[in-house]
């Protein structure tokens, strides 16, 4: 599925089951949907990020708005490869794009040989991001990540990325951080992984 630049896909209370990745160049807004994805990490000979298959790619200039959705993935390749760029994610956001994730749950189901989707969410570069709670009446729902190598892969760019408290269950690392911090950062969660000098 490709949402071209200028194109818009809005979905509410819908079920998506996708064996191939969704590429977003326009706008994708999903609210209260069940999103089921296959992910594929490149393991052939290393360092070929173009060979990985993410659930959803939000590319430079695109907008991804995901509100109160349930994301589940099945990883189809072993993620033990050490090349970070090869690792797959349910949502992969790159470049100067806009991303909102409110009160979504992310889970790697590990149904094929126990393989784990490396990331629930991966942000690379100048992603203008709001990763925050969903509020409906008196109820607040946090974003949650279960059974990933890292719940969030966070590679800093120059845009502001706002990441509120999330719930992490059975993740090897909660947040994997890479790059240069341009502004103040306050870390609450344990089990961060510093991939390079920060």
SS3 state at 152: strand
Kind of pairing, strands 139-141 and 161-163?
A: unpaired
Q: What is the pLDDT of residues 152-166, one digit of tens each?
A: 998 887 788 888 889
Measured over the CA atoms of residue 124, residue 125, residue 127 and residue 130, the dihedral's sign is positive
> What does the pLDDT read at residue 177?
84
Q: What is the pLDDT of residues 46-70, one digit of tens each?
A: 666 677 899 999 998 999 999 999 9
Q: What is the pLDDT of residues 125-154, one digit of tens each?
A: 889 999 999 999 999 999 999 999 999 998
Q: How far apart are CA 108 and CA 86, in angstroms?
A: 17
> What does the pLDDT read at residue 158?
78
Structure tokens at 23: 């590429």
- Residue 100 to residues 76, 81, 87, 167, Cα–Cα distance (Å): 27, 30, 22, 17
Q: What is the pLDDT of residues 78-101, one digit of tens each?
A: 766 667 778 899 999 999 999 999
Residue 74: band (very low, low, confident or very high) from pLDDT cuts 50, 70, 90: very high
The percent of residues in the chain predicted with pLDDT above 90, rounded, is 63
């Amino acid at each position: 599925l490709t949402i071209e630049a200028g194109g818009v896909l809005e979905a509410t209370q819908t079920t998506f089951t996708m064996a191939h990745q969704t590429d977003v160049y326009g706008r994708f807004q999903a609210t209260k949907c069940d999103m089921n994805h296959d992910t594929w990490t490149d393991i052939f000979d290393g360092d070929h990020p173009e060979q990985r298959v993410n659930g959803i790619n939000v590319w430079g200039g695109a907008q991804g708005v995901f509100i109160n959705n349930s994301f589940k993935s099945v990883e189809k390749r072993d993620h033990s490869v050490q090349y970070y760029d090869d690792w797959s994610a349910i949502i992969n956001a790159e470049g100067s794009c806009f991303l909102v994730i409110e009160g979504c749950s992310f889970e790697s189901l590990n149904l094929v040989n126990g393989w784990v989707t490396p990331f629930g969410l991966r942000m690379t570069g100048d992603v203008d991001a709001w990763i925050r709670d969903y509020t409906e009446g008196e109820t607040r729902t946090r974003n949650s990540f279960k059974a990933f190598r890292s719940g969030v892969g966070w590679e800093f760019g120059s845009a502001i990325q706002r990441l509120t408290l999330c719930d992490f269950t059975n993740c090897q690392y909660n947040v994997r951080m890479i790059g240069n911090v341009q502004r103040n950062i306050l870390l609450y969660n344990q089990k961060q992984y510093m991939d390079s000098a920060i």
